[in-house]
Amino acid sequence: MRQLEAPELRAWLTQNREPVTLLDVREPWEVSLCRMDGSVHIPMGQLPARLAELDRARTTIVICHHGMRSLQAGAFLERQGFADVVNLRGGIDGWARSVDPDMAVY
């Protein structure tokens, strides 16, 4: 599974014109504090039951707070046949600190 730091992901998203899925696997209370625009929220614990909501052929970028839950969720997605999974290393916290300084941190 590819892993990208927040600045690398921002550059990749800017250059890539293919549709992607930004999958946020954090808990609802975390998403209520901050989220990336356009992200799909499926808490990690609900992921197995909600796989049908995701496109296996589309690049899926998995996001959590610091990048550990998203790494686990991404490995699960790969085992389920998802073609291209990317983990946001450093998570939403890294995104807020290095890409979007207006985003809340917690």
Q: Which of 34, 47, 61, 64 is catalytic?
A: 64
pLDDT in tens, 40-74: 999 999 999 999 999 999 999 999 999 999 999 99
Distance, CA of 57 to CA of 18 (rounded, Å)? 11
Sketch the domain layout of the chain as residue ranges: 2-98
- Homologous superfamily (CATH) for 2-98: Rhodanese-like domain (3.40.250.10)
Distance, CA of 35 to CA of 65 (rounded, Å)? 10
**Short-list 99, 80, 104, 76, CA closest to 12:** 99
Distance, CA of 23 to CA of 43 (rounded, Å)? 9
pLDDT in tens, 66-97: 999 999 999 999 999 998 999 999 999 999 99
Based on the residue annotation, tell me whether 34 is a catalytic residue of this protein: no
Q: What is the biggest distance separating any 2 CA atoms in the chain, rounded to whole angstroms?
A: 36
Instruction: Supply the pTM of this predicted model.
Output: 0.95
